[in-house]
Amino acid sequence: MNELAAPTQHEKPQPQGETARTPVPSIAIRKSCNPDGIGLSHYVLMDKKAAK
Amino acid sequence: MAAPHDRDAGSTLVAVDIGHAAYAAVTDPDTAFWALVDRRQVDESLRSGPLLQRYRAQREQFARELQALRFELKPSGVYLNPTERCNLDCTYCYLPAAQRSRGSHMSERALLDSLATLRDYFRSVMGDSDRKPRAIFHGAEPLLNRDAVFTAIDAFADDFAFGVQTNGTLLDDAAVEFLTARNVSIGLSLDGPAAAITDATRHTWANHSVHDKVLSAMERLRGYGSWSVIATCSRANLPYLTRMIELFHAHEVPTCMLNPIRCTMPGAREVKPSDADMSEAFFAALDRSHALYKQTGRKLVVANFANILLAILAPTARRLMCDISPCGGGRAFFALAADGSLYPCSEFIGLPRFNGGKLLEGGVAAALASEAFRSVVTRDLDTFAPCDRCPVRHFCGSPCPADACEMNGGMTKTGAFCAFYKEQANYALRLIADDKANDYLWDGWDDGTETVFSLDGDPPTA
């Protein structure tokens, strides 16, 4: 599949003359770690050490 | 359907218009892989080039990582409800009003016995891990049973990392001193920048305002590192989210959540905003938080959005386990109700069919194996429409199963805010394209992570 998905309601308008701009470089990044998330919409654990 | 790792990478990449002037995204929905490419060169990026070559080499690795995150976790946290009662009657509460108004406290003895059983369970599944299991005192209002809660925190200080989610009305000087001295993570709730707005959804049973009491609690916590405030977004406060951000930032709140209202109970559905209205107000609030950061150098992280960014940048680094499918309920954590029953998540405590049995009778293992839990932990959005074809489905997770069941008719339905979650993914990808993502995340968010894929600044596909 290589067609763009339907534009979204928050799509920003394309600037005029877009075809003339310099191509932009590709970006991709993925990081990995041991998962330990247990938060949920009712609570997010904030465990930064900071005594009052 | 073939397993994700059996498919060819080129055949599974999907192009997504993220609404950016220069970039489009390509994603592999099966592995939560993404890249941003020049929007005029999408077809070329999908056919050939370094992006596709490198992704093909690592696709199986990413598929396995996501598989482990989604299906192979062991619980490491528990949400403890030490009382059924609450001193407030909030419009959208997921707990039945009869429980909150006339319910019972868990006895101190039962709470201590429960924590001992839970400690043994977590030891059995977490082994010699250098991290403690998390125990969060949670709704209804845990500080109504304050003596038992504080006794338990001291009795099990060596065994759990504790947190408390409270409405803040009972958080007096002594409570703050006790909790902060023990580095307990504290969450408050406030729905408006002014009393008239908060009062629309959060008030006492006699309809009295609690807005100023929560502000006082926030002042007591100023300077503490481990606290947050939740604002539940409904039609009542949506026009005021930007002012909420200004209030939280002025009070030096380190982290907040602007949560779209959970629609488990009918009262919540009556004040549910539309996805479009939610998106507009939410992104304006995010923009305001960023402007304040740039002005002052001090971040106010909006955790529920930060979690979407994390789901994109580092899927395993998520802090919240709602925005993943299956959700964390019943597999990363579970909830203990005040009557001693286990549920996949507190969100289900008002729904008896999700009761997995008593902790002190059947134990945790029996609950995890119960049909009540199985129905939640097997909710896999790869298996139902429209999620199964969504290019950003593993950045979102289609939360929440309780919403899906109670509002939309079943576990194989979407959650309450499908379009809003798609827009969050687009917004997050635009921030990454503009190199602003770190501004919206906690400092040091990637400490302890390893970069496993990087294509930053590679020249465009020829």
- List of chain B residues whose C-beta atoms are within 8 Å of the C-beta of residue A37: 317-321, 328, 332
Task: State residue B137's pLDDT score.
Answer: 97
Local structure of residue B239 (DSSP, 8 states): G
- Rounded Cα gap, residues A6 and A28, in angstroms: 22
| A49 vs B contacts (CB less than 8 Å) | 183, 225-226
Among the partner residues A3, A21, A49, nearest to B225 by beta-carbon distance: A49
Chain B interface mutation, best of A1, A3, A30, A32, highest count of B Cβ atoms under 10 Å: A30
Q: Tell me the C-alpha to C-alpha distance, in Å, between residue B187 and each of B148, B229, B253, B258.
A: 19, 6, 10, 13
- Report strand pairing: B77-80 vs B185-189: unpaired
Give the predicted TM-score (pTM) of the model: 0.93
Q: Is A39 exposed, middle or buried (0-12, 13-18, 19+ CB in 10 A)?
A: buried
pLDDT digit string (tens) for chain B, length 462 residues: 334 444 555 568 999 999 999 999 999 999 999 999 999 999 988 888 888 889 999 999 999 999 999 999 999 999 999 999 999 999 989 899 999 999 999 999 999 999 999 999 999 999 877 889 999 999 899 999 999 999 999 999 999 999 999 999 999 999 999 999 999 999 999 999 999 999 999 999 999 999 999 999 999 999 999 999 999 999 999 999 999 999 999 999 999 999 999 888 888 899 999 999 999 999 999 999 999 999 999 999 999 999 999 999 999 999 999 999 999 999 999 999 999 999 999 999 999 999 999 999 999 999 999 999 999 999 999 999 999 999 999 999 999 999 899 999 999 999 999 999 999 999 999 999 999 999 999 999 999 999 999 987 655 553
The pLDDT value given to residue B459: 57
Digit-coded pLDDT (tens) for B40-66: 999 988 888 888 889 999 999 999 999
With beta carbons less than 8 A apart as the criterion, state whether B335 and B346 touch: yes
CA nearest neighbour of B218 among B244, B181, B241: B244
Whether B347 contacts B319, CB under 8 Å:
no
d(CA B377, CA B326): 6
Locate B186 and state its tokens. Answer: 């504290």
* Element of type H or E holding B227: strand B227-233
Q: Which of B136, B181, B452 sits opposite A30 (nearest CB)?
A: B452
pLDDT for A44: 78
- Interchain CB distance below 8 Å, A41 and B259: yes
Chain B hits for A17, CB-CB cut-off 8 Å, are: none
Q: C-alpha dihedral over B45, B47, B48, B54, to 10 degrees?
A: 70
Q: Do A50 and B43 touch (CB under 8 A)?
A: no
Q: What is the rounded distance in angstroms from the CA atom of residue B331 to the CA atom of residue A44?
A: 17
Of B77, B254, B460, the CB nearest to A46: B254
Q: What is the pLDDT of residues B121-164, one digit of tens each?
A: 999 999 877 889 999 999 899 999 999 999 999 999 999 999 99
Count of pairs with CB atoms under 8 A, one residue in A, one in B:
243
Helix, strand, coil abundance in chain B, percent, nearest 5? 45, 15, 40
ipTM given for this complex: 0.92
Cβ pair B432:A27 closer than 8 A: yes
- Read off the tokens for B61: 């690795």
CA distance B78 to B68: 21
List strand residue ranges (DSSP E) for B81-195, in order: 134-137, 161-165, 185-189
Q: Is the pLDDT of residue A5 over 50?
A: no
Beta-strand pair B14-16/B23-28: antiparallel
To the nearest whole Å, the CA of B346 is away from the closest chain A CA by 9
Contact present, B166 and B142 (Cβ < 8 Å): yes
Q: Looking at the partner chain, which of A43, A48, A50 has a beta carbon nearest the beta carbon of B138?
A: A43
Which residues of chain B lie closer than 8 angstroms to A48, CB-CB? 225-226, 254
For residue B115, what are the contacts with CB-CB under 8 A and spacing of at least 6?
Answer: B80, B135, B152, B155, B156, B159, B160
Residue A14 DSSP code: P
Residue B443 CA to residue B101 CA, distance in Å, equals 41
User: Who among B34, B134, B181 is closest to A45 (CB)?
Assistant: B134
